Amino acid sequence: MFLNFIVIFFFSFLVPFGMYLLSFFVSFKDFYGAKLSSYECGFDVVKKVHVGFNLVFFSIVLLFVVFELEVLIFIILIQGDFYSLLSFFVFFFYVVFSFYMEWCFGKLIWFC
């Protein structure tokens, strides 16, 4: 029985890795400078291609995703059993603790 799990585990990593290597060696690669620059309607690039990202916006998005997951888990909890109740509370306490730690470290000053 345990040998079956080892074989399945081995092939579950071997097959995707082999497919990745096969696609890497077989695929057509075209390296020239125009592919590395951004396309702005045929005009030359005005600014840098890679513009910095606002971390405050990123933090808001992460908070939204985490609390949205919490709502989804709460909806699943309505028809769940003890295991779903336990997983909900573990996730809920993790979210509350993470929120408290971000607040204590001063990452949510803009939020209040």
The per-residue pLDDT string of the chain (112 residues; one tens digit each, 9 = 90 and over) reads: 778 888 888 888 898 899 999 988 887 776 666 666 666 565 565 666 566 667 777 777 887 887 788 777 777 777 778 887 888 888 888 888 888 887 888 777 664 4
Using DSSP's 3-state secondary structure scheme, residue 43 falls into: strand
Q: CB under 8 Å to 67, separation ≥6 — which residues?
A: 95
Structure tokens at 59: 């933090």
Residue 50 DSSP label:
S
**Does the reported pTM lie above 0.75?**
no
